[in-house]
Structures are given as C-alpha cells and as structure tokens.
C-alpha cells in the first residue's frame, strides 16, 4: 500500500502588495494552521517518509511549521515545477516517489484538481472542492510501487481543514 498526504500551503500574507507571488510568507493564521495540522498528522499517525514541495516561500514555511511539530528530520525535495503545477506535473513527480508515505505541498487550483483526479470517489464536501489553505487529503492506493499509480484509483482515507480542528 502507498499513501499520499496532499496539502495546500497555509495562509499567506498579502502585507507587501509589491512582493512577488512566489516569495509571499505565511501570515499568523497560516503559522497557527501548520501547528494544528502537524499535531493532527502526528496524533493520527499520518507520518510521511518523503516530502515533495513547491519552492514558494509559503510552502517552505508550511513544511517548517509541520516539521517543528513532527520532528522527522526530513529534507524536502523542493521543486520549482510544483509551483502552480498542473495534475500531470504532480503525477509525474509522485510516480517517482520512493517512500510508502509521501507528503506533497502545493497550490490551488492544481493541488485540489490532483486530489480529485486521484480519488475513485470524491467526498461530497464544498470544502474539498474549494480546497482552502492547509486543506489536507489522505489517499491510499493498493499498489506496490508508485510507478504503478493510476488516476482515479485512490481510496479517500481522510480530508480535513484547520477550521475543523478547533482552536
């Protein structure tokens, strides 16, 4: 079995309107969300062995917040191709994964489209289709190697947004 943890970056700051989109950092709410999600991942034993992430500052900082809670010591594979990536780019990257459980950090609309394309059956949730910041989907696949991955073959294990996790 293989498992993907698909996560949209946490809430970013728009304080500096002249700042390049790629360079926007997390705001305070985003930083709190990473802590909530880190604890949720840890409490539910959704522990990645490999991390793939966009190079955007908000994704880098989202991983840093998660890592602060998880303490895994993983060095993410940062890839500029995951910055506003299309489904095909993310699928290609995931098919090259080497660990049984992979966390992929990305952006909308691509990350939401990828989650939808991976699942046999999508949840009937407005939040799933909106895929707000720090939305996280856990999907399981009955495959032995990531290279065998096919679209619409995954089983939804869990979907959560920070707001559902309480204060």
- 95-149: per-residue pLDDT in tens? 999 999 999 999 999 999 999 999 999 998 899 999 999 999 999 999 999 999 9
Distances (CA, A) of 126 to 10, 101, 103, 119, 137: 18, 26, 23, 16, 14
Task: Using alpha carbons, select from 146, 120, 157, 125 the residue that is nearest to residue 49.
Answer: 146
**Token code pair at residue 117:** 């394309």
CATH code of residue 46: 3.40.50.1240
Count the domains in the chain. 1
pLDDT classification of 5: cutoffs 50, 70, 90: very high
- At 167 the pLDDT is 54
Domain membership flag for residue 17: no
CA nearest neighbour of 39 among 15, 10, 68:
68
- Quick check: 158 and 137 in contact, CB under 8 A? yes
Q: Quickly tell me which residue has 């707000």 as its tokens.
A: 132
Q: Is residue 92 part of a domain?
A: yes
Q: What is the pTM of this model?
A: 0.96
Closest alpha carbon to 115 in 91, 93, 84: 91
Domain membership flag for residue 133: yes
User: What pLDDT score does 17 carry?
Assistant: 84
Cα(16)–Cα(48) distance, integer angstroms:
33
Domain of 121, in residue numbers: 2-12+22-165
């Amino acid at each position: 079995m293989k498992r993907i943890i698909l996560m949209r970056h946490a809430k970013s700051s728009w304080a500096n309107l002249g700042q390049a989109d790629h360079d926007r950092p997390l705001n305070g709410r985003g930083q709190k969300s990473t802590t909530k999600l880190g604890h949720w991942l840890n409490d539910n034993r959704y522990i990645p062995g490999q991390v793939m992430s966009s190079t955007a500052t908000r994704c880098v900082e989202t991983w840093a917040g998660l890592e602060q809670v998880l303490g895994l010591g993983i060095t993410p594979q940062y890839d500029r191709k995951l910055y506003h990536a299309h489904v095909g780019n993310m699928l290609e990257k995931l098919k090259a994964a080497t660990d049984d459980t992979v966390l992929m950090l990305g952006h909308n609309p691509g990350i939401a489209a990828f989650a939808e394309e991976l699942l046999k059956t999508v949840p009937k949730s407005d939040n799933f289709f909106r895929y707000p910041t720090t939305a996280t989907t856990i999907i399981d696949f009955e495959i032995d190697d990531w290279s065998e991955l096919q679209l619409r073959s995954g089983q939804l294990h869990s979907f959560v947004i920070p707001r559902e996790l309480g204060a």
